[in-house]
Amino acid sequence: MLLKNHAYLAAYDSMSENQQTAILHQIKTLVPLTDREQEVLQLILFGKSNREIAETLFLSESTIKTHTRNIFSKYDVRSRAELISILLRNQSDS
């Protein structure tokens, strides 16, 4: 699983800033997310752990886990790798 996550994160990380911005914009149109969920998702895309996201947003790790579960539910996925795969796939279809 970690290797799969790493592969998707590496693919995202290797994109130009314009491509990353396009994906972040697309996130807003694919599935309605709250502002906080969008922030969490963006940090997930940057490869941050729940703990790192919590520290960045000054929230508890438990709160980040709740936001992550909500994001997974809205995208109907079970993992970060699956989520990133969907976002990258939709970007390449655009």
Residue 6 has a pLDDT of 54
E-strand stretches of 1-94: none
**Domain containing 6: what range?**
2-93
25 or 34, which is more confident: 34
Q: Tally the domains of the chain.
A: 1
Give the burial class of 20: count Cβ atoms within 10 A of its Cβ; 0-12 exposed, 13-18 middle, 19 or more buried: middle
Question: Mean pLDDT across the stretch 15-33?
Answer: 76
- Above 80 in pLDDT, residue 24? no
Segment 28-59, tens digit of pLDDT? 777 899 999 999 998 988 888 999 999 999 99
Supply the CATH number for residue 16's domain.
1.10.10.10
Q: Report pLDDT for 33.
A: 92
Mean pLDDT, the chain, whole residue set:
82
